[in-house]
Amino acid sequence: MTIVAYQGVEGAYSQEAIRQHFGGEVETLSCRTLADLFAAVETRRAQWGVVPVENSVAGSINQAYDLLLERDLKVSGEIVLRVRHCLLAPEGTRVQDIRQVRSHPQALAQCERYLTERGWEPVPAYDTAGSAQELAAKPEPGVAVIASALAAQRYGLAILANSIEDQSWNYTRFFVTGQEAPPRAARNKTSLVFATAHAPGALYACLGEFAQRGINLTKLESRPRRNRPWHYVFYLDFEGHWQDTPCAEALVALLTRAAFVKMLGSYPAAPQPVPENGGGA
């Protein structure tokens, strides 16, 4: 049976993403940290790992990108999950009694306005489902958590409010990581990381190789180079497969201009989400 690793405990949004992509019968492997997830795939305790890389509201997950640079797993797919946050508490808890809400910092950021309007104190926790697990095991008066409906079901907590995220356009993008490259699909994306020479126009010249070939860039983000202060690496996504002629030509040209280039993978592009009517709670 296919085993897919994820960070967190049962009921995590990563588990929802796994079910969306692989189906409900897949076996999942819980990992405490993202580094543990990468190790599980590298040692073949799992065939695949599902790694959250960015949220449409709260932005990129920097540790995930750092691990993609440092480790040798391939990006073999992407998942775009509509995230619907729920306010959970032990049965019998009244909304008017809540004083503190715990969850992963990303979830708290995605519900910031909702919490602020009610005067509730946000408290960062290990992860969304983990905060639900802990509250179910040790209920505290006036404490609620933000997690998924799946976590509520798994840990026996009551759902006091649904879809409390500040923006209805709240999606998390995940990479499927593994040791094998996927076959080409009808629609593909390619992800890579590169560094430029520390010289005027270096980044402009690198990006120009894609522009002059009509290749659409879908993401560009810089991160500090850990071994070189005030130098940066750039994470880039573009439409197309590295074997497509324009993409292959752009990559060859990039290799001549960049200080280094690391291919993360070419993979089937996830379907684009359709905007929903209305806003968040």
Active site residues: 172, 174
d(CA 16, CA 261): 33
Secondary structure (3-state) at 116: helix
d(CA 100, CA 276): 30
d(CA 114, CA 104): 15
d(CA 250, CA 248): 5
d(CA 162, CA 146): 10
Q: Is 94 exposed, middle or buried (0-12, 13-18, 19+ CB in 10 A)?
A: exposed
How many C-beta atoms surround the C-beta of residue 197 within 10 A? 14
User: What are the C-alpha distances in Å from 16 to residues 6, 26, 28, 165, 250?
Assistant: 10, 11, 11, 17, 36
At 277, list the tokens.
């009517």
How many C-beta atoms surround the C-beta of residue 74 within 10 A? 21
Measure the CA dihedral 28/136/165/238, to 10°: -20
How many C-beta atoms surround the C-beta of residue 179 within 10 A? 13
d(CA 131, CA 88): 10
Secondary structure (3-state) at 160: strand
| Contacts of residue 246, Cβ cutoff 8 Å, sequence gap at least 6 | 213, 214, 215, 240
